[in-house]
Structure formats: structure tokens, C-alpha cells
Amino acid sequence: MKAVQHILTASFLIASTVAFAQQSDTTRAEINVKAKPSRTVERIADDLHIYVGFNNVGGSVPADYEFRPVGSRFVALSWQYRVPLAVKGSTKLRLFTGPEVAWNNFMFDGQNKLVERDNQLVVEPAAEELKKSKLTTAQLNLPVILNVTFRSGLSLGVGAYAGLRLDSYTKVKPVSGSAVRTHGSYNLNPLRWGLTTELGFCRHTRLFVRYEPNSLFRAGEGPDMNVWSAGIKL
């Protein structure tokens, strides 16, 4: 009988020791898990953005190059990469860059139209009443923008861009009749560059302003006009 009691006592002591060891291991594992808080790492992301707004010109603008403020529109499709630079604090710094295709539409005021003859630009009145007369340029741009986002959600971006002309054409639409589109270089600068700034109050919508210090046309082959654009980035 005493032998049985010794066996039971020894079994109880062994079981208690194993249970205590398992409980200690579990406690240590929980402490280790709690001691390593999860870290969120922001990675490079890409998004499609749409710029919609108005554009016009400044500088030495001849009287016959007057454009309609509302009819002259700016549109761009931009595939931008968002590169985190310093995002650990409440103020975050990121770099936005990526290719975009941009269109500048310059709608002539009145009944004027732009014509290219012998490598010279001529703005002349149309022989019939016009519903629309415009010059459109399309170019491939590469913007580089430094963006700062504050704790309040306000974001500010400042940067520059450079672009290569892809196409340009005039479109003349009479009141009665079909529109005529004529492609050509129109003495436009093949390379353009500009400065840009963006102001946002939420992540997906921003206001933007762009300004190009260089002339829209090649030197000596057209008016010395600077292009500016303003609108909304979606």
C-alpha cells in the first residue's frame, strides 16, 4: 500500500512540474509577443490620376492670339508612383513621379483661325462664321513632385516637369458644316518644361497650378507666350 502511495505521489509531482513548465513557456511566449509591437511599413505605390482644368497664356501675346478662358481646357492622364521618403512621424514626406500625357487646348476668341504657311504662323479671320477654332498640343511629361502631408490632412506638393511634344493640330468647326482638323508642328517647341504646385485637403483630390517659363513657340518663329494651367487633380 505504501508503494502505491509513493507511486501516486511521484506521479503527482511529475505532472505538476510538467504543467508548471508548460505554463511558464506560454507566459514567456505571450510576453515576447507583447514586447514586439507590429510595424507598418509603407511601400512604393502607384495610382492613376486625372488633371482637369483651364489653361491660357501670358507674356507678349499679340491681339489676334486672344483665347477664351473657359473654352481653353487642360487635361492630363498621369500614372504616378508614390515613393515614401520620411513617413514615421506625424508629418510625412513623399516623392511623386511617373509618366503622364497632357493636352493643352487653346480656343481662339472671335472668328480667328491659326494657319501655317511657308513655316510662318498666320492668324486670320475665317471666311465663314465659326462655332469653334482651337490649337491643341499633346505631350508626354515626366513630373517630379515633393509632397508634404501634415497631421491635419493638409498636403502641399512642389515640383517641376519636362515634356516632349507628341502631336499638335488645329481644329476649325463652322456653324454649318463639318469640323476640319489639320496636324502640323506650328513652330511649337518640341521640348517644354514647367513648375507645378499642388494643394490638397484629402488624399484623392488636390488643386494644382502649373507655369511654363519657356515660350510655347520656338524662338523667333512665333509669339513669346508662356503657358499656365490651373484646376483639380483627381
Structural domain tally of the chain?
Answer: 2
CATH classification at residue 119 = 2.40.160.20
What is the span of the domain harbouring residue 29? 1-38
Does residue 114 sit in the same domain as residue 1? Answer: no
Residue 191 has pLDDT above 80, yes or no: yes
Burial (CB < 10 A; 0-12, 13-18, 19+), residue 233, is: buried
pLDDT at site 36: 53
Same domain, 197 and 118: yes
For residue 99, pLDDT beyond 80: yes
Rounded (5°) CA angle 120-171-162: 70
Q: What average pLDDT does this structure show over 70-76?
A: 95
**Same domain, yes or no, for 55 and 169?**
yes
Predicted local confidence at residue 160, as pLDDT: 98
Q: Cβ(158)–Cβ(197) under 8 Å?
A: yes
> How far is 197 from 170, CA to CA, in rounded Å?
29
Q: How far apart are CA 51 and CA 141, in angstroms?
A: 13
177 plus 97 within the same structural domain: yes
**pLDDT value of residue 4:** 40
Q: Considering the chain, what percentage of its residues have pLDDT values greater than 90?
A: 62
Position 10 pLDDT exceeds 60: no
Q: Identify whether residues 32 and 53 lie together within a single domain.
A: no
Considering the domain architecture, whether residues 56 and 96 belong to the same structural domain is answered as yes
Residue 33: pLDDT over 50: no
| Residue 1 pLDDT level (bands cut at 50, 70, 90) | very low
Q: What is the pTM of this model?
A: 0.80
Give the SS3 label for residue 32: helix
Residues 204 and 226 in one domain: yes
> DSSP alpha helices (H): ranges in 106-227?
none
Residues 98 and 176 reside in one and the same domain: yes
CA distance 113 to 46: 41
Of 40-49, 78-87, 219-228, least confident by mean pLDDT is 40-49
Pair 85, 133 in one domain: yes
Please check whether residues 2 and 96 belong to one and the same domain.
no
- DSSP letters, 124-135, are EE-SS-EEEEEE
Is residue 98 located within the same domain as residue 144? yes
User: Do 28 and 60 fall within a single domain?
Assistant: no
Q: At 210, is the pLDDT very low, low, confident or very high (cuts 50, 70, 90)?
A: very high
